[in-house]
Structure 1
Amino acid sequence: MSAIAIDQPTYEVGARKWLITITVITCAIMELIDTSIVNVATRQIAGNLGATVEETAWVITAYAISNIIIIPLTGFLGDIFGRKNYFTASVLLFTIASFMCGFSGSIWMLIAWRFVQGIGGGALLATAQTVLVETFPPDELNKANGIFGAGIVMGPTLGPVLGGYLTDNYSWHWIFYVNIPIGIAAAILSWKYIKGTKTEMKGKIDYWGILALVVGIGSLQMVLEEGERKDWFSSLFIVIFSILAIGGICLFILRELKAKNPVVDLRVLRFRNVAVGSALRFAFGLSIYCSIFLYPVFVQGFLGWNATRTGLLILPSAFLTGMLMGVNGALIKKGISPKALLIFGFAMVIAYEYITYMLATPAAGEWDFFWPQLVRGLGFGFIFVPAASLTLAGLKGKDIGQASGLSNMLQLLGGSVGLALINTYVARRIVAHRVDLMGNLSIYNPESNERLQMLTTQLIEQGNSSQQAQQMAMSIMERSLSTQSSIIAYGEGFMMIGVICAVILPLVFMARIKKGEALDVGSAH
């Protein structure tokens, strides 16, 4: 299946350009907020709907699976229905699903509507960048990428903050209801201002490619989301879905490389910059989602911070990243190589992970993390726009849309792979450190014995019997040991993210960019 544009797009100017920009960026941020907004409300949802923790986890999993499936199909669906119709319908689907999620009276109803919400949301994310490419002229493309990148970074960051505030002050239902007025306004604006690209469909629809994509990527996402909870390959569930993932992805690759009209044109990976840029976007997704996951868990779980306090410390970093997106666009336009900006960006991210690893102690406070957070914001601010520019450099026509959709999918997949990897790594390091430290809790260890006697004496003075005091003292020391094991492991988790970025970084040198190379986006979809 292929689409030929009947009329070439003309670029927008004035107020109309910025109304379109605000509309699509708002939709992209709204979709990304919903990838993480539920994470802080799982306990309240479980209690209210009478669900187990494992069942509630599917509220997050269902959204992630439908997101990752729909994103590579957005170019194909946009060609079939037209950009304007598809984007507006996706906004409405996301908005309706958001209402039904908040209205859900059972956990499985909520899970089903979260899946539907993810189908609408994934389309918003992938189509938003394409709409911006068609809205801005070629010489302003880096500005468009910068605006889109700011939304990409701020969405996942704002999710836990907004989710915590709404859950603490209202109820979990409002983490979904908050989308409704924004979605209605966005649907009206998108229908009014986004151009309806006319297409003439040629060739057969690649149904086998779509089926293989759904089975392969959907199963892989299922494995990544549920693997740690089900102890990976000791679970028949994970084994079955792993086989489906491998089989589906292999069939999908073979089908798309041989099909005359592939639904996702993997042939764009023959361009070196697309392959390198997509790998960097994968690493970017891994690092940003893992950092946003580890930091709140650490400070809330071990330092006792609430969601508001945690979020307020993250926000300056997110805003710094957003501001730097535009700066990057200007630097590239002036002739600064995206490769140099990428090296600096990843170096800052690696520095942040190392500094946080060193500062991850029970005595850490806000100011210990404030400056490292700004370093993180600085790093992420110098990655997205250069990576996007590098990926699209030298491409023409439909190759731009295909490369953009593929790199967006790989960025989200990087986040999923990274979270599964870090979750497993941290969990196993906690066990390892607990075993190592357990030897210190012994009557033959003078320091441990002295600490035990001191706690026991204090508890006896509080009115407990000698036997009760000794048992309570042992319990306190074991909890302290578990906390220390977890803190060390989470610190190592930050370091692991830095190591992965350091391994990926040399790929930057493999990219080739000709000086003054411009993008031809006149017929991009």
Structure 2
Amino acid sequence: MQQAQEGGAGAAGKWLVTASVMIPTMIEVLDTSVANVALRHMQGSLAAGQEEITWVLTSYLVANAVVIPMSGWLAKVMGRKRYLMASVALFTVASLLCGMAGSLSTLVLFRILQGIGGGGMQPMSQAILLETFPPHERGLALSVYGMGVIVAPILGPVLGGWLTDNWSWRWIFYINLPIGLLAQFMCWSFVRDPAYQQRWQKGERVDYLGLALLVLGLGSLQIVLDLGQQHDWFGSSFILALSVVAGVCLFTLVFWEWHHENPIVNLRVFKDRSFALGNVVIFFGFFAFFGSIVLLPMFLQELMGYSAFQAGMVLSPGGLITLALMPFVGKLTQRVDARFLLCFGLLASAWSSYYMSGYNLDMGMVTAITGRNLQGVGLAFFFVPLSFLTMAYIPRTEMNNASAVYNLLRNLGGSFGTAFVTTMVARRGQFHHLRLAEHMGYYNQAFTSGVEGVRQYLEGLGMHVQSGVEAMAALYRLMQRQAAALAFLDVFHLQMIIFLCLSGAMWIMRRPPRGKAPDPGAAH
């Protein structure tokens, strides 16, 4: 197994390692979204306020964001296998405690522990996969990894809703127990630390300042992103103060870590051109992707009147397309320059956003599904080639640290994207409301004709309309709905522009290794 994990040829060993690291990755990513649909049930059960209950989500995301970038350092201190198993154990125990929580404060505490445990699982799993497979097969390995990272957030709300409706919100946490135990057994049996892995040397100084800056900076930033819209962003002194703390700490962290001898996060890995640009692309790519994943269900349920099940039916085919295409794309990276595959994925994503920007309030479900399916194709051709390109020239000794940074930027991109689209929809909705309302006056002949037409329509339905008030109210509600729809379409259009810009910028990345060439990332 040691040989397999260093790029050996044992097919069975490689796939056993793959299964071992994919199980913890899936349950960790799943838990970032599975609790969303159960918040109202938790609120009633724990007698919590509407603002208070959101800390169930925020506490997990904050802990997760803080731990991910330091996971490479923790693996160096503890050993990667031991750290991964400790993370799985803490995540599993914390899941049990979350399910047993009797108050909001204890649930938030246990969610923090769960986030700490889950933070190391994604980057360690990716690093192990990249080292287990030889260079020409890394695209295939990343396609398997991508299945968990991409599909789990889509399945999370569906699974969480089913468990909550048929059992209890506590089961969204209890379900992690058997899976966590299986993951622990698999990691113990099949994962090994490679001989070349860097170890913590006795006498090395701990970067306490870097650790403090990381915790304060990323913790504050995640709270700002998660609660900013709820508190009116910089109109709130709380959000403003946290933004200042995040900005100062993260700016200082970059300068400090770059020059520190033994940093918590080794930022010198950004000297590699492909890695640096790959992190930019993954940030803005997930910024746009997660924005779409948030926007489309909102559009369908709030404006089109779809039920949660119907909205899920629109989203599901696109997820299945991504799932089916990822292994195919992974195999293509062995024969085709991954930059062409990535460019195709970004252009397909731009096309899907452009298609969605043409949605209207009279469209059918087939139209909604088509836009989502186009996005599913783009996502499959985005994640796998980008991960392959970004990590192509990273030395194996730096793989843990590089994977941690890459996963952090991916998660932050999703958080920024979610915060951005919810804010933009609200602001653009206000803009379109004001513009449309300008034409709603008795001095506007089209408006008065519209009111009369609505009045006659209501009377034709058998309603007794004494004046034009009922007709004006109906027309005003239609205007509000139309203003909200235009706001959604504006954001879809902006996402298209982001994807088009990325499709040009990504060509700065270096050509990746192909065929069975020597490992460019091997330690010498």
Do both proteins adopt the same fold according to a TM-score greater than 0.5, normalized to the shorter chain?
yes
- 1:19 to partner: Cα distance: 2.7
- Residues 276 and 511 of structure 1 are in contact (CA less than 8 Å); yes or no, is this contact kept in structure 2? yes
CA contact (8 A) 2:73 2:401 kept: no
Q: SS of the residue aligned with 2:357?
A: helix
SS in 1 for 2:200: strand
Measured at CA, do residues 443 and 512 of structure 1 come closer, stay the same or move farther in structure 2, by a change above 3 Å? same
Deviates further, 505-514 or 252-261: 505-514
| Residue range with higher mean Cα deviation, 370-379 or 478-487 | 478-487
Report the CA distance between 1:12 and its aligned residue.
Answer: 7.2
Amino acid at match of 2:180: G
Query: Residues 397 and 23 (structure 1 numbering): CA distance in 2 closer, same or farther, change over 3 Å?
Result: closer
C-alpha displacement at 1:392, in angstroms?
1.6
CA distance in 1, matches of 2:468, 2:114: 53
SS of 1:201's equivalent? coil
Q: Deviations over 1:290-337 (max 9, x none)?
A: 121111111122222233332233222222222322222222212x21
User: Cα RMSD over matched residues?
Assistant: 2.5
Contact between 1:320 and 1:374, CA under 8 Å: does it hold in 2? yes
Distance in 1 between residues matched to 2:370 and 2:510, nearest whole Å: 34
Q: Which residue of 2 aligns with 1:130?
A: 127
Match of 1:504 in 2: 502
1:438 aligns with 2:440: no
Match of 2:238 in 1: 237
Q: Offset at 1:177?
A: 2.0
Instruction: Map 1:370-409; keep pairs closer than 5 Å.
Output: 370-409=369-408
Give the secondary-structure state (helix, strand or coil) at the position aligned to 1:442: coil
Q: How many angstroms does 1:65 deviate by?
A: 1.2
Distance 2:53 2:65 in 1: 20
Q: Which moved more, 1:413-422 or 1:196-205?
A: 196-205
**Superposed CA offset, 1:401-440 (max 9, x none):** 3222211110111111111111111110111111122234
In structure 2, what is the Cα distance between the partners aligned to 1:10 and 1:357? 45
Q: Answer with 147-156 or 495-504: which moved more.
A: 495-504
- Residue 195 of structure 1: aligned partner: 192
Given the superposition, is the C-alpha separation of residues 450 and 247 from structure 1 closer, same or farther in structure 2, using an over 3 Å criterion? same
**Structure 2: gaps of 5 or more residues:** none
Instruction: Quote the Cα distance in structure 1 between the aligned partners of 2:66 and 2:9.
Output: 31
Greater shift in the superposed pair: 429-438 or 341-350: 429-438
Structure 2 partner of 1:340: 340
Aligned to 2:44: 47
1:221 to partner: Cα distance: 1.3
Query: Do structure 1's residue 56 and structure 2's residue 53 form an aligned pair?
Result: yes
Report the CA distance shift for 1:23/1:45 in structure 2 as closer, same or farther (over 3 A): same
Amino acid at match of 1:280: V
> How far apart, CA to CA, are the structure 2 residues paired with 1:455 and 1:122?
58
Which residue in 2 is equivalent to 1:155?
Answer: 152
Q: 1:287 matched to which residue of 2?
A: 288
Name stretches of at least 5 consecutive residues in structure 1 with no aligned partner: none
> Is this contact kept in 2: 1:441–1:448, CA < 8 A?
no
Identity over aligned residues, as a percent? 35
Q: Deviations over 1:265-291 (max 9, x none)?
A: 111111111111111111222122112
Shift of 1:127: 1.1
Q: Could you say what secondary structure the match of 1:74 adopts?
A: helix
Does the 8 Å contact 1:440/1:448 carry over to 2? no
Indicate the residue corresponding to 2:355 in structure 1. Answer: 355
Deviates more, 1:204-213 or 1:515-524: 515-524
State the aligned residue count: 513
Deviates more, 1:183-192 or 1:406-415: 183-192
For residues 446-465 of structure 1, what are the structure 2 equivalents within 5 Å?
446-451=448-453, 453-454=455-456, 457=459, 461=463
Question: Structure 2 CA distance, aligned partners of 1:64 and 1:88?
Answer: 21
**Cα displacement (A) at 1:111:** 2.1
**Aligned partners of 1:12 and 1:135 also within 8 Å:** no
The TM-score, its normalising length taken from structure 2, stands at 0.91
TM-fit CA distance, 1:73: 0.9
**Mapped contact 2:7–2:133 kept (Cα < 8 A):** no
Distance 1:459 1:60, change over 3 A: farther
Query: What is the CA distance between 1:249 and its match in structure 2?
Result: 0.4
Q: How does 1:400-419 map to 2 (within 5 A)?
A: 400-419=399-418
* 1:353 CA displacement: 0.6
Q: Find the residue that maps to 2:305 and give its secondary structure.
A: coil
Amino acid at match of 1:154: V
For 1:114, which of 111, 116, 140 is the aligned residue?
111
Change (3 A) 1:300 1:257: same
| 1:302 corresponds to | 303
Deviates more, 1:473-482 or 1:210-219: 473-482
- For 2:457 and 2:108, the matched residues in 1 are separated by 47
Change (3 A) 1:364 1:106: farther
Aligned residue in 2 for 1:204:
205
More displaced stretch, 414-423 vs 281-290:
281-290
Could you tell me which amino acid in structure 1 is paired with residue 452 of structure 2?
Answer: E
Deviations 1:187-230 (A, max 9, x none): 12212221145764222121211111111111111111111111
Q: Where does residue 276 of structure 2 map in the other structure?
A: 275
CA distance in 2, matches of 1:48, 1:459: 44
Shift of 1:174: 2.1
